[in-house]
Structure 1
Amino acid sequence: MPLLVAAQCQSELAHLQALIDRPSITPNDAGCQPYIAAQLSRLGFEILHLPSQGVANLIAWRPGTPRLAFCGHTDVVPAGLHWQVDPFTLTEVGGELFGRGIADMKGGIAAFLTAIERALDQGANLDGLMVLLTADEEGEAEHGSRVIAEFLARQGKLPPWVLVGEPTARRMSGDTLRVGRRGAISGELILSGKAGHVAYLQSRENLLHRAMMLGAELCALPWDQGAPDFPGTAFHLTGLEHGQWLDNVTPGKVTLRFNLRYSHHTNAELIDQRIRALMPADLVGELSWSRPCEPYFSSFDEQQPNFLTVVEKAVFAGLGQFPVLSTAGGSSDGRFFRAHGAQVIELGLPNATIHQANERVSKAEYLRLIAIYETLLLSL
């Protein structure tokens, strides 16, 4: 039987329940940030709401020299169908906690908030600690963490260390840290020509044939292979459209769609140049790009205070083993803070069910993440 979690009975789940119960489907915050702001305010944090184009953003800080910021997002993807429980009510079934956004990433936010309370109860000095939240991560991500990072950089108040609470783990909280992510960009190439009757056309005059050959050349185009600690660039065709189909008429317009995930050894401008250079001179084509996300990679200078060492020690204390370092997966808001020089590490819950029906995490792993965050805060 599902057990609806009673917040007053389980203090370690109180913040999690309060967040899951708010249906904050992107870009709607649904009151998550005001709730978090109220909790942080009573813990001695200053509060600044920084809305941008209707998107809710929150900057909270304890007075002092900026040292560490926790970055996260309160928005979630739509719940969809086929849930065993109410997606917007925190529910425990067989030791697992269910709810939309519990892994991605309200669980990380609630865990960090609980860890702050516990660390302060033990007398930790958290002066200069920041919490940075947006409701624009699952969408276009134009008016969220980008705005926060740019605002703090202009003020000279961006901390040198940024911890992102994205779900990075494979099996157990802390088993994997993200220290970088590939960039991503989607392209659309519209080819225009002359429709014709197949009885009177040569094969090379068939625009669909030309588009398919160009698609094959794009797929065969060599890209960088990355590095031992960073995946290389990958190109994928994602669509081929040619309008209404007739069995004896070739189309006059064909659209190729594709996506690239690219390493920090290349950039969107170079990608554009290489694809334009492949276009045959006798083809009329219109190339456009959308959803650009720049890559990032955090390097750790041994001569400077090393954020990675601090995080690894906290993970070892909570997990009994050191984490795997990874740069796999999609894009994240970490790129916006890395662009301004911060060392960025992503550490969160297991990600096996994110964006799926019945999104869930083990209660034990949620409690483990609280402990890891608490150890990290106490180490400051």
Structure 2
Amino acid sequence: MSAVDPVSLTRDLIRKPSVTPADEGAMDLVQGKLEKLGFACRRMKFEDIENLYARRGTEGPNLCFAGHTDVVPTGPTGAWSSDPFAAEVVEGVVIGRGAVDMKGGIACWIAAVSQTLAEGDVPGSLSFLITGDEEGRATHGTKLVVEQLLAEGERIDACVVGEPSSLQVLGDTIKIGRRGSLNVWITVTGKQGHVAYPERGANPIPVLLDLMKRLNDRRLDEGYEAFQPSNLELTTFDVGNTATNVIPGQATGRFNIRFNPAHTGQSLMDWISEEARAAEAASGQKVEVEFLHSGDAFLTQEGPFTTAIQDAVEAELGIRPEASTTGGTSDARFIRAICPVLELGLVGQTMHQIDERVSEADLHSVTRVYRRVIQTFFDRFAPA
């Protein structure tokens, strides 16, 4: 069984321009590599999103790796030093969209698995959960795959998500939790009119401003265990009024809440809805609220699993990673429903940026770390 080269596979994956929700053959490439390694691969397509669940072995424990092949748009391609999907190597650095977020991580885990299996089978199962819907709305990707696996009784004992968790240097951080995310749109409908005759109109802007201020002024909490305080950030106000003498008929505002486990998405939606009803009753103007709840906060308590991962990183890199809950959301928020989960991956400083890049040296180093993680996991959790 020949070993997979993480650099070559990273470059091959980058060359698949899989900007959400497009796949462009990225999932076929992953599936082909896994099938050659003896994995039984199952494609799970929901709407236009390609997903893959692959497993090698039938016994427990089952260690899963989760990741995504979709990437964010490139931005202005002329600002890149090379074609963002050419995966050029310049002085030992691979440049391309998805290099660290997270095609490089997928390539490294596949390479680590290939090296592990070249020395013999593991005393249990290895699996992959790969989605093409992490950078988008995340409604037809990991969330639905997990629901399907739970309905079928599939057992996964632990999962490593290959997000670029390292902050400054490789291995300095693992993510054991992430805050939840809630996007909110509030639209107030008044009555259009002439500014000289305000009694004939109903201006929705003051109603919206007052409601948004009340929501923004509330201190949501003081933090929660390993989490920073939840925060509400106003992101836009839209009226669309180009005239100077017209009272607009409608005004819309939007904000996002990143919240820790002191709240759920539902509890926040209940609070916002109550405030909106109060504003409607007081103003006599229609107040509508739309929510996009991307997922609740998750926290994997520090224990044997997190310790095993930290020990593996320290043994390979000589640095013990900090267990952190900072950053945005990831698909770990869905995977937590089926097993303990954490994130371990490359340095994420260039993710979503022009000239996203990763060094060949880091790809080889993360492959060694992942190989040590696999070894440590089965040494500690496989039946004697």
User: TM-score over 0.5 for the alignment?
Assistant: yes
The 1-side partners of 2:208 and 2:252 are apart by 8
Could you tell me how far 1:260 is from its partner in structure 2?
0.8
RMSD over equivalenced CA pairs, Å: 2.0
Q: Distance in 1 between matches of 2:39 and 2:239?
A: 56
Alignment of 1:59-208 (within 5 A): 59-63=53-57, 64-81=59-76, 82-123=79-120, 125=122, 127-201=124-198, 206-208=203-205
Q: Which moved more, 1:17-26 or 1:208-217?
A: 208-217
Structure 1 position 206, deviation (Å): 4.3
Query: Could you list the per-position Cα deviations for residues 55-99 of structure 1 after superposition, in whole angstroms to 9, with x for gaps in the alignment?
Result: 111111111224210001111112222111121122222332211
Distance 1:289 1:108 in 2: 32
> Aligned partners of 1:318 and 1:170: how far apart in 2?
18
Deviates more, 1:129-138 or 1:274-283: 274-283
Deviates more, 1:329-338 or 1:24-33: 24-33
- Identity, in percent, stands at 36
Instruction: Summarize deviations over 1:318-374 as a string: whole Å, max 9, x none.
Output: 22111011111111111111023x111101111111111111022222221111001
Q: Which amino acid aligns with 2:8?
A: A
Residue in 2 aligned with 1:318?
316
Q: CA shift at 1:264, angstroms?
A: 1.3
Q: Which sections of structure 1, spanning at least 5 residues, go unmatched?
A: 1-9
Contact 2:6–2:363, Cα closer than 8 Å, also in 1: no
Looking at structure 1, the residues matched to 282 and 86 of structure 2 have their Cα atoms a distance apart, in angstroms, of 59
Q: Deviations over 1:230-257 (max 9, x none)?
A: 1222111111112223223322211121
Distance 1:43 1:198 in 2: 71
Deviation digits for residues 111-165 of structure 1 (CA, Å, limit 9, x no counterpart): 0011111112233516311011111111111111112211221222231201000
Using the TM superposition, give the Cα deviation of residue 274 of structure 1 relative to its aligned residue in structure 2, in angstroms. 1.6
Q: Tell me if the contact between 1:66 and 1:130 (Cα under 8 Å) persists in the aligned partners.
A: no
Distance 2:267 2:6 in 1: 49
- What's 2:300 paired with? 298
- Tell me, yes or no, if the aligned pair for 2:84 and 2:97 is still in contact at 8 Å: yes
Check conservation: 2:184, 2:290, Cα contact below 8 A: yes
- Whether the 8 Å contact between 2:68 and 2:102 is mirrored in structure 1 is yes
Report the equivalent of 1:56: 50
Who is 1:242 aligned against? 239
Among 333, 336, 340, the alignment partner of 1:343 is 340
The answer to whether structure 1 residue 14 and structure 2 residue 11 are counterparts is no
Give the 3-state SS of the residue equivalent to 1:282 in structure 2: helix
The total of aligned residue pairs comes to 365
**AA of the residue aligned to 2:290:** S
Deviates more, 1:241-250 or 1:47-56: 241-250
2:219 maps to: 222
Larger deviation, residues 49-58 vs 174-183: 49-58
Query: Shift in Å at residue 291 of structure 1?
Result: 4.8
Unaligned ranges ≥5, structure 2: 379-384
* Closer, same or farther: CA 209–320 of 1 in aligned 2, 3 Å: same
CA distance, structure 2, for counterparts of residue 70 and residue 218 of structure 1: 39
Mark the CA change 1:367 to 1:112 in structure 2 (over 3 Å): closer, same or farther.
same
